[in-house]
Amino acid sequence: MKEKKIIYIFAMLVLIVTSCEKVEFGNEFLDKPPSVDVTKDTIFNSLELAQRYLWQGYSTLPYGLNLNFSAKGNKLGMDLLESLTDLNHTFMPWGGVNQLYYNGQYNAAVADNSRVKYSYTGEESWDGIRIGWVFIENADLIPDASPEYIAQLKAEAKMLIALHYTDMFRHYGGMPWVDHAYTPTENTDLPRSTSKETMNNIVALLDEAIADLPWLTDDPANWDGRFNKAAAMGLKARVLLFGASPLFNDNQPYLAGEASDKNYTWHGNYDPDLWAQAAQAAKDLLDRVALEGGYGLKNTGNPRQDFQDAYYDRGNGEVLISTRVRYRSGFRFDGQYYFYQSAAGYGTACPTKEYVDMFPMADGTPIDATGSGWDPNDPWANRDPRLYETVLVNGDDFKGRTAELWINGRERRNINFNGTKSGFGIKKFLLDQNGATSFQSVVHWPYMRLAEVYLTYAEALNEVNGGPTAEAYAAVNLIRNRVGLNNLTPGLSQDEFREAVLLERALEFGYEEVRWFDIIRWKKEDAFKTKLHGVNTRKVGNTFSYEVFELPERFWQDNFSPKWYLSAFPPDEINKGYGLVQNPGW
């Protein structure tokens, strides 16, 4: 039988776990290296060891901040997914964005290395899926746990599988569906499932997990980060929204080809009920939050701090799915949290003028609206508080002083300094970029926040009803009001409201890996073709001047093809002959 990736990952008989010293999930989870090799029978003869095996599954989850030099940790060659969008431009020369995407060199032949946005065999997705199924199939052997707790652990394992498939679904479309832990003698010729089958399989797993997960995580001081019912319900809403969007849910595929003919890259037709399913999934979670509490938008009346806490802090009641690699960030070259200390300085995170201009005035009025109060001589003043917590702009508070983004200022050392070469710097996740907020800080990745569910609900309602409803407006306004913005303008058309929601998602979730998927699921070709800009700020005496300049060209701005919406599968996997059909255009 041909060697296959799926065979390899499911045939492993020796399972690696950590030593028997107790690990507290919140403070020490994943902080200790593996040290003991034991058999499957040994693992599932002990609750302690069985849990440790499941915790390894948690370690395979996606993490948005670049970590180290592994295929997973070095995703995009230390760059950011936002660099592929209109929100950010990267100047880091060795990153995958510059080496493969901006110059049009990305193709199937390079589709499985650490410089791409998702590595089919290196992202640890298949490893996490293997761990999930092995756990599910053996958990009933655990002798020292109640049936209720075993059911909860199985549900957590189902979440591992569903989350990994969710990410693969969003990057590739329909996927080979693994529904148990394979043995070396089994036939693993698994062809791609259709896009709708993949979506429905994910939803079915999530529904099973929802039934057995607790609403709130017990003892959050030690166990924050474990999956619970709210996490599963939120992920279900995300999957259904993506599957309801035009990339898959349309009257024609985004690009012709064998994969499209077999409905691997679209559902085969437009089904309006998918929008209703997405709306209902979001509503189910929001209704339960209203009824039982335990979750909510961070809102103490301090807009800037609330927004920062909403994505940055662990256990804040807003983050539904939190992934982490270790409790505290490491030093620059210790192999952990490399993005925090280094990559931004090399130019990976340079916001565009287009992104900065998306942020309205502090009351929510667009800056180009008549009477907005926007001052071209002081362009970053009195803006949406999320601007200052996402982008480092000239004149804002920074490191206990005023940020100097003018050429030859402390943050814009010279016109060619890559770290702020667009004229802006990064604030999100890096904060003040000092020891208190980078080195040894308590960090995590906010894979999904409750704010997303509100906006999912609003967007889906707009599509279901052919225009915004009062409930749709209310959901968006909650997000806006949290940071002091006024309500959306009433009377918007369906198209206008849709764009307002997508804008709100860009403002709320910048650098949280949301924008890319919004662009591709709505097939927003214009976002790929738009020429992007930076701003050179100069200071003479106490007077500033602002020069807009065009950022370096990206291949797809003049050579766009819809093939970019989904990733290519590596030829090595296709050539193994188990039914993996290449995505159109690659």
Please report which confidence band the pLDDT of residue 404 belongs to, taking 50, 70 and 90 as the band edges.
Answer: very high
What are the residues facing 548 on neighbouring strands? 535
DSSP states of 172-225 as a string?
Answer: HSS-B---S---TTS----PBPPHHHHHHHHHHHHHHHHHHS-SS-SSHHHHTT
Number of Cα atoms under 13 Å in the Cβ half of residue 493:
2
% residues pLDDT > 90 (the chain): 79
Residue 37 has pLDDT above 80, yes or no: no
Output DSSP code: residue 551. P
Closest by Cα among 290, 293, 300 to 483? 300
Q: Indicate the average pLDDT of the chain.
A: 90
Q: Give CA separation, 136 vs 164, 443, 502, in Å.
A: 16, 30, 38
Stretch 430-443: mean pLDDT: 76
* C-alpha gyration radius of the chain: 23
% residues pLDDT > 70 (the chain): 89
For 176, the token pair is: 């080979």
Stretch 478-496: mean pLDDT: 98
pLDDT reported for residue 72: 67
Please report which confidence band the pLDDT of residue 67 belongs to, taking 50, 70 and 90 as the band edges.
Answer: low
Buried b (16+ CB within 10 A) or exposed e, 119-157: bbbbbbbbbbbbbbbbbbebbeebeebeeeebbbbbbbb
Please report which confidence band the pLDDT of residue 551 belongs to, taking 50, 70 and 90 as the band edges.
Answer: very high
pLDDT reported for residue 11: 28
For 238, the token pair is: 């995300």
Please report which confidence band the pLDDT of residue 70 belongs to, taking 50, 70 and 90 as the band edges.
Answer: low
**Distant-in-sequence, close-in-space partners of 495: CB < 8 Å, separation ≥ 6:** none
Closest by Cα among 376, 402, 396 to 384? 396
Please report which confidence band the pLDDT of residue 103 belongs to, taking 50, 70 and 90 as the band edges.
Answer: very high
Of 24-33, 137-146, 235-244, 418-427, the one with minimum mean pLDDT is: 24-33
**3-state DSSP assignment of residue 185:** coil
Please report which confidence band the pLDDT of residue 403 belongs to, taking 50, 70 and 90 as the band edges.
Answer: very high
Please report which confidence band the pLDDT of residue 71 belongs to, taking 50, 70 and 90 as the band edges.
Answer: low
Residue 524 has pLDDT above 80, yes or no: yes
Strands annotated E in 401-492: 401-402, 425-426, 445-449
Which amino acid belongs to residue 105?
Answer: Q
Stretch 572-584: mean pLDDT: 93
Length of the chain: 586
pLDDT reported for residue 9: 29
